[in-house]
Amino acid sequence: MPAAILVVEDEPAIQELLALNLEHAGHSVLRARDAEQAAKLVRHALPDLILLDWMLPGQSGAAFARDLRRDERTKQVPIIMLTARGQEQDKVAGLDAGADDYVTKPFSPRELLARIKAVLRRRAPQRTEEPAEVGGLRLDPATHRVTADSRNLELGPTEFRLLHFLMTHPERVHSRAQLLDRVWGDHVFLEERTVDVHIRRLRKALEPTGHNRLIETVRGSGYRLAAMPTSEV
């Protein structure tokens, strides 16, 4: 499944090469030349993954990674560091700073894409093609189908993405702002009411098999997908 990837790299030729490879693989790419520009983009919309160069003008990649990990909103964003070949201490420091993985330059595009896929599978399962199953509900990203009790359930594209995210992060309470960030990729220009509208539609779509009960409203906090439906509705 395509992901929104933020590339933070100051060398234009390498940035271009990264962007081309990622776009060719179906991802959408945001570009920043330094940490300051990257921080601005992240404030506006949370990417699915950040490719972060170690050597940047101004704040270093590692310092930026640490900033991201300290912030409640960004601490879960997968980060892959780009380091120069042979800089063993950079790799260690990068992982210490909270990066999920690193790739050495010059990189092989195929290796880079494989590492991105592995990190996304681990950290952002809603961006992979792996089917998800919770409480008898099955969602298959490859065929775009949701089934339960051997019935097909009809979902709109936004409800599908929302359900996919909830099913890959069950039992956790997600605030409306978090859902806007993670499902819509924008928490600035969309109103939190948008989430309520799509939760309502999602529940309606799951009603035929009673799986609407999986989606719980947590008063004052947000929404949660229960791994087991609550008996009292």
Binding site for Ca ion (CB under 5 A): 10, 53, 55
Least CB distance from residue 14 to Ca ion, whole Å?
A: 7
Which CB sits closer to Ca ion, 45 or 55? 55
For residue 57, the minimal CB distance to Ca ion (Å) is 8
Beta carbon nearer to Ca ion, 63 or 173: 63
Nearer to Ca ion, 2 or 58 (CB): 58
* Residue 10 or 67 with smaller CB distance to Ca ion: 10
- Identify the DSSP state of 11: -
Closest approach of Cβ 61 to Ca ion, in Å?
8
The phi, psi pair for 51, rounded to 5°, reads -95, 115
d(CA 46, CA 49): 9
Residue partners of 8: CB distance under 8 A and separation at least 6: 32, 33, 34, 35, 37, 38, 50, 51, 52, 53, 56, 61, 64
Report which secondary-structure segment, H or E, holds 69. Answer: helix 61-70
Nearest CA to 125 out of 167, 171, 174 is that of 167
Within 10 A of 39 (CB to CB), how many other CB atoms are there?
A: 18
Label residue 69 exposed, middle or buried (CB < 10 Å: 0-12, 13-18, 19+).
middle
Nearest distance in Å: CB 88, Ca ion: 18
Provide the minimum distance between the beta carbon of 153 and Ca ion in the complex, in angstroms, as a whole number: 48
Between 85 and 219, whose beta carbon lies closer to Ca ion?
Answer: 85
Closer Cβ to Ca ion, 15 or 21, answer by number = 15
Q: What is the closest distance, in whole angstroms, from the C-beta atom of residue 21 to Ca ion in the complex?
A: 17
Residue 70, both tokens = 């300290």
Name the residue with the smallest CB distance to Ca ion: 55
Structural tokens at position 154:
């009809």
